[in-house]
Amino acid sequence: MHLLAAHRLTGILLSDLPMRWAHSQQVLSQARKLAPVVGNARVVLAVSAILHDVGYASAAVDTGQHMIDGARYLARLGCDPLVCSLVAYHSSSEWEAAELGLAPALAEFERPPSDLLDAITFCDLTSGPDGAPVDATSRLDEVLCRYAPDHVVHRAVSAARPALLAMVARVEERLAARPGGYPM
């Protein structure tokens, strides 16, 4: 799927979720800034970024875990398997899937290369729920405040937090290592 088509599709699917749509657009903006460090995967990352939360759309809901649901929906549309994998595994998906007993459903998708999984997670965790850029620590704190301690998302994000922050740090290191650093 081309970026323009992915953008249109996401806009339609998330039309009744305006904050989720704003967040997705910021995730795409962050992905575009990573282009110099992801090389030939820049288009795949951008498409995955705009599509990463389509699993929240009512048309995509299946298991209730938005990452898996989004990836399944995109697979049914014939999307690139790498895009589907990035959507399936982004951020705390592996921890949520384990909490929900959905590890076999997640395993329907091949785990994406670590550098790209780090990149999509960086983009997600540096984009606030309202579409504003944020630092990853603040974003994770916001998620933990939004969900009660007994909620699966709270438990999964709490468990995943060190790994997620390490993913973000790896991307920041890659950005810092290039001339000019991270384009703000």
**Is residue 24 assigned to a domain?**
yes
**Is residue 184 assigned to a domain?**
no
pLDDT digits (tens, 9 = 90+) for 136-156: 999 999 999 999 999 999 999
**Is residue 147 assigned to a domain?**
yes
DSSP code for 2 = -
**Is residue 80 assigned to a domain?**
yes
**Is residue 182 assigned to a domain?**
no
**Is residue 139 assigned to a domain?**
yes
DSSP letter string over 101-164? T-HHHHTTSPPPPHHHHHHHHHHHHTB-TTS-B--HHHHHHHHHHHS-TTSHHHHHHHHHHHHH
**Is residue 55 assigned to a domain?**
yes
pTM: 0.95
pLDDT at 178: 80
pLDDT digits (tens, 9 = 90+) for 14-50: 999 999 999 999 999 999 999 999 999 999 999 999 9
Q: Whole domain around residue 11: which residue ranges?
A: 3-177
**Is residue 89 assigned to a domain?**
yes
Domain count, the chain: 1
Handedness of CA 164, 168, 174, 177 (dihedral sign): negative
